[in-house]
Each structure stands twice: as C-alpha cells, then as structure tokens.
Copies of this chain bind each other. A is one copy, B any other.
Amino acid sequence: MTAPGSTAPVLVPQVLDRCRALVRPALAEAVGRLHPWVGEMAAYALGWCEVGGAPAAAPGGKGVRQALAVLGARAAGAPERAGVAAAVAVELVHTFSLLHDDIMDGDASRRRRPAVWKAYGTGPAVLAGDALFALAVRTLAGEPGGPAGVRALSAALDDLVRGQADDLLFAARPWTGPRRVRPEEYRVMAEHKTGALLGCAAALGAVLGGAAPGTAAVLDRAGRHLGVAFQIVDDVLGIWGDPSVTGKPVHGDLRERKRTFPVLAALDSPAAGRLTALLETGAEPGRAAALIEEAGGRRAALAEAHRHLTAVEDALSGAPLETTAAGELRSLLDFLVRRDL
C-alpha cells in the first residue's frame, strides 16, 4: 500500500504499534489514578489484564482512535507527542462507550472474552464506565488547549449518546410501513455512534497540536465519513464475511434481527415483502442473506460506503496537512475500511 505523496509504503500495523507505544505510558498513568478496583476493570476492558489483575493473554484493541489523535497532531505540523493527551482522552471515552454499550445491548462477550458486565457484574461495569468518562474529561481539562478540546470532546459525547439512543430505538420499529427505519436515518445514527468519536480523535489531536480551527474541522469531517463507511462495511461483513477472519458468527446480525444498512436498503426495494417475513423471525438467515443480495442490499451498501470514502479523500486533500502524517492517515483509513472485503 503506497500513500500518495510518499515513496515508501506505509505499513499500517507498524503505524498502529508506534502510536500505541507512544500513548501507552500516559494512558497507563491515567488509569493508575483510578480507584484500584475500578482501575482493574478499566485495565481488563483495555485488554491489559484478566479478572484478578494477571497480565492479559490476548491482545487488546488496535488503538485506531489513539492513532488518529497522534496523527492528527502531526498532520497539524506538531510533534506526535502533542496529541498524546487527546489520544488518552479518546481511548478512555471509547473504552467507556464499549463498556456501557455492551450492557445496553446485552452483549456478553467482547474481543473473545466476557464483557466487563459479565466478568464483574452490571453495577460495577456501570461505575467503571463512569470512571473512564470522568477520567477522559479530567485528562483533557488539565491540558494547554484543553478548553477547546473539552468542548470538542463533549460535543462528540453528545453525538455518541444520540447515536446509541437511535440504535436502541431502531430495534423496536417495524420492518415495513411508514415507521420503518430508512437508510438515511441509519446513516445519521452511524455518523453519531461511530463517526463522531473517530472525527473527534483526529480533530482533538490537531487542536492540541495548535491547528487552525479549519484544519481540525476537516479532520473531524473526514473521521465522521470514515465512521459511516466503517459501520456499513462492518454490516456487510456481518452478513457475508468469513467468520474465521471477522471473528463474528455467520449471519449473527440477521439472527439478532439487527437493522443494518444492507437490510434497510433491501427493504426499500420491491423484494421487501418476501424479506420481511424472514427478517421478523430471524430464522433461515442464509435465505435472508441471499434475498438481501438479490434485492441489491449488498450493492447499495458498498456504494454508500464508497461514497463516504470519497468524501474522506476529498476532505483530506483540501486541507494543508503535513505530508507524511497525511499519508499515514490515508493508509490507516483505507486499512480500516477495506479490511476483508
């Protein structure tokens, strides 16, 4: 993979490793300031330890948001370390949101381990999420450039909650008729639930790196489009992906009767009638998947994802960004979305 404007190929896993290594001490120091019991839950959620505190056997998350923050600072012409506080804050907020979302969605596992609420109990998991949230705000509030950063983070948090509320409410709506969920509503939900924090990560890094407001706004917009594309690709993989690669059960989203983009797009087609009965029961997900594809749901989803990736590219190419960082950002975004398609 070669980023435009650079001669060497960008190896995304190495970029992620480098950013994680840069952020880890500050993130560990922040988590270390928590109440010890809450700190253990946070470390478990971050993939650093098992229940009881022993070092973790499995690796944690990729650290996409912290990388975006670090690269955002550098894209603004600052050294990467200028984005570290932003990286810590967004990683804490991301961990908080996974923790609480798993409770709300009743998801019992996360990254092939029991979710925090399964491992420690619902009440403690609520508390651990709250603690991570408070710590994120506190981390940013103490920084130079913090006020603008806190405003950006709290706006993203607002969107995050809004997206999760819509997502929860979608499940209670009918598959057909005027109250059905439209693809456009889904797009807004995905932008809030996934895009807002990705955009905030890159923008926050840029803000702490001293970027002009216009540059931060461009990075925010790029991250939001990336979030929508990422969510739609995730939906496609959830129906047609290879479970040995995605780590998700075959047709899991169809069995759980989730409103995903390919499904909503198919329901906007003449095939909606036959599909609805299959979707309502969640039975015969293989047949439902075939019908969704036949109705153009997969094609429409990939076209929509592509539109958002083009918007990411348009946003980035119009901004005065430092060349190497911009190349790494592009490669990272590409890596995230193209994955296993």
Residue of B nearest to A142 (CB): B151
Closest B residue by C-beta to A148: B141
Nearest residue (CB) in B for A104 is B123
Q: Is B124 within 8 A of A126, CB to CB?
A: no
Whether A166 contacts B100 by the Cβ 8 Å rule is no
Least Cβ–Cβ distance between A168 and chain B, in angstroms: 7
Determine which of B133, B155, B166 lies in contact with A130 in the assembled complex, contact meaning CB atoms within 8 Å. Answer: B133
Contact-size category for A: 35 or more
Kindly identify which residue among B35, B104, B134, B165 contacts A37, using a CB–CB cutoff of 8 Å. B165
Interface SS of chain A: helix
Contact partner, A100, options B105, B127, B147, B157, Cβ 8 Å: B127
Q: CB of A154 within 8 A of chain B?
A: yes
Q: In this assembly, does A3 line the interface, its C-beta being within 8 Å of a C-beta of chain B?
A: no
Is the CB of A150 closer than 8 A to any CB of chain B?
A: yes
A100-124 interface mask toward B, CB cutoff 8 Å, 1 = contact, 0 = none? 1001111000000000000000111
Minimal Cβ-Cβ distance residue in B for A100: B126
Q: Does A262 contact B (CB under 8 A)?
A: no
Q: Does A158 sit within 8 A of B, measured CB to CB?
A: yes
Assess whether B135 is in contact with A133, with CB atoms less than 8 Å apart: no
Which residues 141-197 of A sit at the B interface, judged by CB distance below 8 A?
141-142, 146-147, 150-151, 153-155, 157-158, 160-162, 164-166, 168-169
Give the CA-CA distance A155 to B135 in the complex, in Å.
9
Cα separation A151 to B105 with both chains bound (whole Å): 32
Q: B134 contacts A154, CB within 8 Å?
A: yes
CB pairs A–B below 8 angstroms (20 shown): A35-B162, A35-B165, A37-B169, A100-B127, A100-B130, A103-B126, A104-B127, A123-B168, A126-B126, A126-B129, A131-B161, A133-B134, A134-B157, A134-B160, A135-B158, A138-B154, A141-B147, A141-B151, A142-B151, A146-B150
**Can you name 17 extra interface pairs (CB under 8 A) apart from A127-B164, A131-B165, A137-B154?**
A35-B165, A38-B162, A104-B123, A104-B126, A104-B127, A127-B161, A127-B165, A127-B168, A129-B130, A130-B133, A131-B161, A133-B134, A135-B158, A137-B150, A137-B157, A141-B151, A142-B151
Chain A contacts to B: CB under 8 angstroms:
35, 37-38, 100, 103-106, 122-124, 126-127, 129-131, 133-135, 137-138, 141-142, 146-147, 150-151, 153-155, 157-158, 160-162, 164-166, 168-169
